[in-house]
Amino acid sequence: MINRILIRTRIVQIVYAWYQNTNKDLRTAEKELLFGLQKSYDLYYYLLLLMVELTKAYDARVEAKRNKYLPTDEDLNPNTRLIENKFIGQLSQNHQFNKYLNERPMSWREHDAFVKNLLDEIIASDIYAEYANETKTDYNDDREFWRKIFKQFILDNEKLEEILEDESIFWNDDIEIVQTFVMKSIRQFSEENGENQRLLPMFKDDEDRQFALKLLHDTILNEQKYRQLIETHSEKWDFDRIAFMDMIIMQIALAEIHTFETIPTSVSLNEYIEIAKSYSTPKSGTFVNGILDAIVADLRKNNI
């Protein structure tokens, strides 16, 4: 699940912090990198858990109405389709899901008001009305209902983003990407897999984990070499006035190009240009592109 876009972004943050910290220790930086990536994976489970918590909130609401002093016929005979949703039942019983939550406990309890308000929005929606009024539903209908709900009410939810950003500083830049992985997981669920449905692993394979560590190491250990290249190819600009973040982004980009020859140079360049657009100044994308293009062209010319 932790793809290289997330890895590159996290390394930019870690290297930035490295230069701000007077106590520079590579092992500490490595631990912070892996911790940050673990937090990204936590977010994946936290968003899966939100769907389970919404279902529990609905169940609690139904029971409260049933136990009123003077319940109505509707209170005594509620629509329980949401409670009986087979997809959520499968997710809540999933071995991998429950094992992870036991090892790394997390809860929506502190955000109970948000969960209840979100549930109100869902119940008031056309998506819910159509689902609740179906004569009969099967597993695919149940799964499709939650796919639609996640897309409509959880993706791009500003209040949710505020909550997640307050929960962890590591989640500020991860939300959009991790949400797409949750959507992918919903689509991949199959009734026949039961409690053993595979959720996305933290890393696709060990290669991605090693990519993260090697990139961090090479960026820091070869700082002088990469900064010299940047200075040499920034003659049109005042080197001392280059934005600090631009310098870090270019340093990491050069480390990737140097260390991972199997990754097409154009792919690496494009990734770091996009990072520069998001994390630095408005003109950083163009600036970083120009400097890196000049360095790469020179290295190729000299067969380096």
Q: Which residue has the higher pLDDT, 86 or 235?
A: 86
pLDDT in tens, 27-43: 999 999 999 999 999 99
Assess whether pLDDT exceeds 80 at residue 49: yes
Q: 131 with 251, same domain?
A: no
Indicate whether 228 and 117 sit together in one domain. Answer: no
Single out the residue in 196, 213, 236 at which a domain terminates. Answer: 196
Domain total for the chain? 2
Torsion angle, alpha carbons of 96, 100, 101, 105, to 10: 180
Whether 189 is in a domain gets the answer: yes
Q: Which of 181, 194, 142 is nearest to 48 (CA)?
A: 181
Q: Is the pLDDT of residue 303 over 80?
A: no
pLDDT of 301 reads: 82
Check whether residue 192 and residue 226 sit in a common domain: no
73 vs 10, more confident? 10
pLDDT value, residue 239 = 64
Q: How far apart are the first and last CA of the chain?
A: 34
**Per the domain annotation, does 168 fall within a domain?**
yes
Task: Look over the chain and give the mean of its residue pLDDT values, rounded to a whole number.
Answer: 93
> How far, in Å, are 7, 234, 273, 292 from residue 238 at the CA level?
30, 7, 20, 16
- Residue 77 pLDDT: 72
Same-domain status, 52 and 98? yes
Encoded amino acid at 263, one letter: I
Give CA–CA dist 286/184, Å, rounded: 33
Residue 242: the pLDDT is 81
Q: Read off the pLDDT band of 172 (50, 70, 90).
A: confident
Residue 240 has pLDDT above 80, yes or no: no
Locate 2 and state its tokens: 């932790």
Q: Are residues 48 and 134 in the same domain?
A: yes
Question: Does residue 286 form part of some domain?
Answer: yes
Q: How confident is the model at residue 304 (pLDDT cuts 50, 70, 90)?
A: low
Same domain, 163 and 124: yes
Task: State the pLDDT confidence band at 59, using cuts at 50, 70 and 90.
Answer: very high
Domain-located, residue 212: no
In this prediction, residue 145 carries a pLDDT of 98
Q: What is the pLDDT of residue 21?
A: 83
> Helix H segments across the chain?
4-20, 26-66, 73-76, 86-92, 95-103, 112-123, 126-132, 139-149, 158-167, 175-188, 206-221, 223-232, 244-259, 265-279, 284-301
| pLDDT tens digits, 110-146 | 999 999 999 999 999 999 999 999 988 999 999 999 9
Domain final residue, candidates 162, 196, 230: 196
In terms of C-beta distances under 8 Å and separation of at least 24 residues, what long-range contacts does 97-101 make, across chains too? 97/45, 97/48, 97/199, 100/45, 101/45, 101/49
Q: What is the pLDDT of residue 73?
A: 74
Q: Cβ atoms within 10 A of the Cβ of 243, count?
A: 16
Whether residues 68 and 183 share a domain: the answer is: yes
Cβ-contact 295, 234 below 8 angstroms: no
Question: pTM of the prediction?
Answer: 0.92
User: DSSP 3-state assignment of 126?
Assistant: helix
Percent of the chain with pLDDT over 90: 78
Please compute the mean of the pLDDT values over residues 163-170 and round it to a whole number: 94
Provide the residue type at 194 as one letter. Answer: G
Q: Of 160, 181, 196, which closes a domain?
A: 196
State how far the Cα of 158 lies from the Cα of 183, in Å rounded to an integer: 18
Please identify which residue in the block is written with the tokens 């769907």. 51
Does the pLDDT of residue 75 top 70, yes or no?
no
Q: Are residues 56 and 178 in the same domain?
A: yes
Asked if residue 121 is part of any domain, the answer here is yes
pLDDT in tens, 184-209: 999 999 999 999 999 999 998 899 99
Same-domain check for residues 73 and 191: yes
Spatial separation of the C-alpha atoms in residues 212 and 292, rounded to whole Å: 21
In a domain, 238, yes or no: yes
**Domain identity same for 110 and 228:** no
157 in the same domain as 77: yes
Show the domain range for 250.
Answer: 222-301
In a domain, 24, yes or no: no
Q: Is the pLDDT of residue 74 over 80?
A: no
Tokens 């499968």 locate to 90
Residues 277 and 138 in one domain: no
Mean pLDDT of 274-281: 90
Instruction: Report yes or no on 63 lying in a domain.
Output: yes
Q: Pick 299 or 51 by higher pLDDT.
A: 51
Q: Which CATH number belongs to the domain containing residue 278 in this structure? A: 1.10.940.10
When pLDDT is averaged across residues 287-298 and rounded to a whole number, the result is 92
